[in-house]
Amino acid sequence: MKYYVLTLFPEMIEQGLGTSIMGRAQSQGTISLKSINIRDFSENKHGHVDDYPYGGGAGMVMQPGPVYRACEAVEQEIGHKARIIYMTPQGRVFDQKMAEELAQEEELVFLCGHYEGIDERVLELKVTDFVSIGDYVLTGGELPAMVMIDCISRLVPGVLNNNMSAEVESFYDNLLEYPQYTRPEEFMGMRVPEVLLSGHHANIEKWRRQQSIKRTLERRPDLLEEANLSKKEKQYLDQLLRERAKENNEEI
């Protein structure tokens, strides 16, 4: 996977994605990351890339010219059309499913705005996808682009050590992850659940699935509607619901 990030703060992207798993993935060559400074495409003698909004109002707007030329330079380098994703709270909300879809691409271009946004005309001309990372407002598109790149990259083969781990973690099967324990066996008087010490793999697997179901019911019941449960697991969920109803003196 080749990422290109168009930004006024390339060092933010390089720093943020330069260490840990993302740093290793780049050293290995499993992914590549190139930050392009939009300011380098300014034709203004002061290197300005923003100006006052037509019609008045607060803040500054990024001018279309530098953004357009930066997009063209990246397209030239890639040699064919690529998706250009504009990070904006007005976009479609990013989720694991979108990450899975984007992970199939050879190249992804992220366009990060600042100030009050980017001149609409260059967005119309160049952007293929408008994406938000959630319903809250940030100061710029860099953190959202980094969130997306991190999430997509762990789905790229070879990025994670253990090929399985991308699937087993949260959201696989629409269930939350089961609780994890490591040494010591007892901490502050709290023991590791006995089943995990038993070495009985089938029992451990069953316990973990049940914990996932229980945790999802408690913390993200909305996810359960899309979860793929076996007949036995559905019975377990029904049992949890009955217990809960009983605790609350409810009818079911």
Please name every residue paired with 162 in a beta bridge, in sequence order, or none if there are none: none
Dig out the tokens for 90 from the structure.
Answer: 């007005």
Q: Which residues contact 63 (CB under 8 A, 6 or more apart)?
A: 49, 50, 51, 119
Q: What is each CA distance from 234 to 60, 98, 104, 177, 251, in whole angstroms?
A: 54, 28, 33, 17, 19
Q: Which is nearer to ligand 6GU, 130 or 172 (CB)?
A: 130
**Is there a cis peptide before residue 184, judged by omega within 30 degrees of 0?**
yes
Q: Using CB under 6 A as the criterion, what x/- string covers residues 141-180 for binding ligand 6GU?
A: x--x------------------------------------
Mask 85-104, x = binds ligand 6GU (CB under 6 A)? --xxx---------------
Q: Beta strand pairing status for 186-187 and 190-191?
A: antiparallel
**Residues 125-144 within binding reach of ligand 6GU (CB under 6 A):** 132-134, 136-138, 140-141, 144
Q: Which stretch binds ligand 6GU (CB under 6 A): 60-68, 81-89, 161-169, 225-233?
A: 81-89
Report which of 88, 135, 91, 134 is spatially closest to residue 111, judged by C-alpha positions.
Answer: 88
Count of residues that interact with ligand 6GU, criterion CB under 6 A: 12
| Residue with smaller CB distance to ligand 6GU, 6 or 213 | 6
**Closest to 74 in 3D by CA, of 63, 83, 65:** 83
Nearer to ligand 6GU, 65 or 89 (CB): 89
Q: Give the nearer residue to ligand 6GU in terms of CB position, either 10 or 144.
A: 144
Which is closer to ligand 6GU, CB of 6 or CB of 237? Answer: 6
190 binds ligand 6GU (CB under 6 A): no
Residue whose structure tokens are 């609780």? 179
Residue at 66: amino acid letter: P
In the bound state with ligand 6GU, the residue whose beta carbon lies nearer, of 44 and 96, is: 96
**CA diameter of the chain:** 74
For residue 189, the 8-state DSSP code is T
Position 59 contacts ligand 6GU (CB under 6 A): no
Give residues in contact with ligand 6GU (CB under 6 A). Answer: 87-89, 132-134, 136-138, 140-141, 144
